């Protein structure tokens, strides 16, 4: 037994890549925060009591699995730090069992579209990260010459828009830009003929969710996904990823592309799987995001695609703003869905939100591990180090109780603006401890989020 251990985690329900069912195991973690051994049985502290200065965690019957990798997070710093920030955002991640986030290039000012801008973001994030943080770069018209330097500086991929991004400093690209630098796309693109608007849902009531939903029909996503998959087929050496898929009618195009061998991955978000248009209340702008949450029947099709592997991963697309930009300072009936900021805050809540729905559908913990950790690690190129409980991997771990419930209240929320469509709801799945490279960054029973930020930059 090596003597350079810093932490030992034992328990009876541990998810590793070797087993579909959670099994008893003991995980040994060295002083570098890496997993150095996995013993296939539950051990007691007596097995280690001759070692000094090691922490020993008996997780009992809680689930132990790789920490979540949330590859779609907007922290908005620098520039819009009143919306979110690295400190509050990564503390929320830690409290939610997320051990790695990949931060989006837009909504910060400046956006991550040049190396100089990227350095500004890195400086803004220094000593403020409670979990590991990787970064995406952005593709905007005219920045093709910045892409290779950005890759060399360590970005994990690029994001481009085919529709107005919502912020002026991050303009959308056209097909030409995409041909040179395609990677990840916000897949909404307005058809030139305006085709696809569902007249039956038209409403002049600005506080009605349908005043917004009707403007973002599925055809907008299908249009963009058709373009993206066509280019992906043409440029097969470039891995292509569709972010936040909402339109189930686009699934057939995606299935066809995947079966043709196109290197395409697809993510959807917690809210598309767990919320539906029918439940959005009058003026409920906390539910507004782009692409929009669609109807229940759409949600069912997304679940089917997640279960059959057409959709690879589930992320938060945590995209907060201040409450006034969500029009929450107005009475419900006076709020304007079209004007309100489009973004949902979920970062801390993804695991319980998804688990509560997945549990009803008879899903396994192993499936959660694939959707929330393993597949995402692969998508962002971290699969040799993260996303698994495996010897040599970073000890990024979440310990949680899937049978226990909690209610979302303002005082448990760590992210900056306490605005979320999940407020007041009850969910299954309570995070007990979150561990990043062997460091306990969150402990529900002992002070919550720890004082010292120990997140690394993944660059």
Rounded to 5 degrees, what are φ and ψ at 87?
A: -65, -55
Q: Which residue's CB is nearer to Zn ion, number 221 or number 317?
A: 317
Tell the smallest beta-carbon distance from residue 318 to Zn ion (Å). 8
Give the separation between CA 31 and CA 266, rounded to whole angstroms: 36
Residues 300-359 interacting with Zn ion (rule: CB under 5 A): 317
| Least gap, CB of 68 to Zn ion (angstroms) | 17
CB 246 within 8 A of CB 222: no
Q: Are strands 98-103 and 55-58 parallel, antiparallel or unpaired?
A: unpaired
CB of 221 to Zn ion, least distance (A): 14
Select 105 or 110, whichever has its Cβ closest to Zn ion: 105
Residue 400 pairs in a beta bridge with: 63, 431
Q: How far apart are CB 161 and Zn ion at their closest, in Å?
A: 10
Q: For every residue of 364-385, which 3-state class applies, written as one string? A: CHHHHHHHHHHHHHHHCCCCCC
d(CA 404, CA 416): 26
Q: Minimum CB separation from Zn ion for residue 25, in Å?
A: 36
Which two three-digit tokens encode residue 102?
């990949």
> What is the smallest separation between the CB atom of 84 and Zn ion, expressed in angstroms?
12
Residue whose CB is less far from Zn ion, 135 or 365 = 135
- Tell me the residue nearest to Zn ion as measured from the CB: 317
When the beta carbons of 97 and 160 are compared against Zn ion, the nearer one is 160
If phi > 0 it is left, if psi is from -120 to 50 it is alpha, else beta; for residue 317 that is left
| Contact map string, positions 27 to 56, toward Zn ion, x by CB under 5 A | ------------------------------
The nearest distance, CB 186 to Zn ion, in angstroms, is 7
Could you tell me if 162 and 177 are in contact, meaning their C-beta atoms sit under 8 angstroms apart?
A: no
Nearer to Zn ion by Cβ, of 183 and 399: the residue is 183
What is the total count of residues that contact Zn ion (CB under 5 A)?
1
* Distance of closest approach, residue 166 Cβ to Zn ion, in angstroms: 9
d(CA 8, CA 33): 11
CB of 83 to Zn ion, least distance (A): 13
Distance CA(384)–CA(457), nearest Å, equals 16
Q: What angle do CA 451, 453, 455 make, to 5 degrees?
A: 150
Which residue do the tokens 């936040």 mark?
Answer: 244
Q: Which is nearer to Zn ion, 107 or 276 (CB)?
A: 107
Q: In the complex with Zn ion, which residue's Cβ is closer, 22 or 160? A: 160
Cβ count near 119 (within 10 Å): 12
Tell me whether residue 267 or residue 317 sits nearer to Zn ion (CB atom): 317
Is there binding between residue 84 and Zn ion (CB under 5 A)? no
Residue among 36, 34, 40, 50 nearest 2 (CA)? 36
Shortest distance in whole angstroms from residue 212 CB to Zn ion: 17
Considering the complex, state which of residue 346 and residue 433 has its C-beta at the smaller distance from Zn ion: 346
Which residues make beta-bridge pairs with 100?
A: 69, 132
Residue number, 13 or 271, with CB nearest to Zn ion: 271
Q: Which residues contact 398 (CB under 8 A, 6 or more apart)?
A: 64, 65, 66, 67, 68, 97, 98, 99, 351, 431, 433, 434, 435
Please, which residue, 87 or 317, has the CB nearer to Zn ion? 317
Structure tokens at 218: 């599925």
Q: What tokens appear for 134 in the block? A: 């990787």
Q: CA 268, CA 303: separation in Å to the nearest integer?
A: 10
- Taking the complex as a whole, how short is the minimal distance between the CB of residue 379 and Zn ion, in angstroms? 15
Residues 90-119 binding Zn ion (CB under 5 A) are none
Q: Which residues partner with 66 through β-bridges?
A: 397
Residue 178: both structure tokens together:
């995409």
Q: Which residues bind Zn ion (CB under 5 A)?
A: 317
């Amino acid at each position: 037994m090596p003597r350079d251990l810093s932490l030992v985690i034992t328990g009876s329900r541990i998810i590793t890549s070797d087993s579909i069912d959670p099994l008893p195991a003991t995980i040994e973690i060295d002083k570098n925060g890496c997993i150095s051994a996995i013993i296939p049985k539950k051990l007691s502290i007596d097995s280690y009591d001759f070692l000094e200065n090691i922490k020993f965690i008996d997780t009992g019957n809680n689930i132990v699995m790789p920490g979540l990798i949330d590859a779609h997070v907007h922290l908005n710093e620098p520039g819009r730090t009143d919306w979110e920030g690295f400190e509050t955002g990564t503390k929320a991640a830690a409290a939610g069992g997320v051990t790695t986030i990949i931060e989006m290039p837009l909504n910060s000012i400046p956006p991550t579209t040049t190396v100089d801008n990227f350095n500004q973001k890195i400086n803004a994030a220094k000593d403020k990260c409670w979990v590991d943080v990787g970064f995406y770069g952005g593709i905007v018209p005219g920045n093709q010459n910045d892409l290779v330097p950005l890759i060399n500086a360590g970005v994990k991929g690029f994001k481009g828009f085919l529709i107005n991004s919502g912020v002026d400093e991050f303009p959308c690209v056209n097909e030409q830009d995409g041909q040179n630098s395609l990677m990840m796309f916000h897949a909404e693109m307005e058809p030139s003929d305006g085709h696809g608007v569902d007249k039956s849902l038209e409403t002049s009531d600005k506080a009605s969710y349908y005043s917004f939903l009707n403007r973002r029909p599925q055809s907008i996503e299908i249009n963009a996904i058709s373009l993206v998959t066509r280019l992906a087929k043409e440029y097969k050496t470039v891995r292509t990823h569709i972010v936040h898929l909402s339109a189930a009618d686009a699934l057939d195009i995606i299935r066809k592309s995947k079966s043709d061998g196109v290197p395409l991955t697809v993510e959807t978000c917690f809210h598309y799987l767990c919320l539906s248009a029918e439940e959005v209340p009058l003026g409920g702008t906390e539910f507004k995001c782009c692409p929009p949450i669609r109807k229940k029947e759409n949600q069912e099709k997304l679940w089917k695609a997640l279960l059959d592997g057409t959709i690879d991963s589930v992320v938060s697309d945590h995209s907060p703003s201040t409450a006034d930009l969500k029009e929450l300072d107005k009475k419900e009936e006076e709020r304007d869905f079209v004007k309100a900021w489009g973004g949902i805050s979920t970062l801390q809540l993804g695991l319980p939100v998804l688990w509560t729905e997945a549990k009803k559908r008879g899903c396994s913990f192993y499936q959660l591990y694939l959707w929330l950790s393993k597949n995402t690690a692969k998508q962002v190129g971290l699969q040799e180090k993260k996303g698994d409980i495996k010897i040599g991997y970073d000890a990024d771990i979440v310990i949680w109780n899937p049978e226990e419930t909690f209610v979302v209240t303002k005082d448990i929320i760590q992210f900056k603006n306490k605005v979320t469509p999940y407020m007041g709801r009850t969910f299954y799945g309570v995070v007990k401890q979150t561990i990043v490279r062997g460091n306990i960054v969150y402990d529900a029973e002992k002070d919550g989020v720890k004082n010292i930020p120990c997140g690394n930059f993944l660059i």
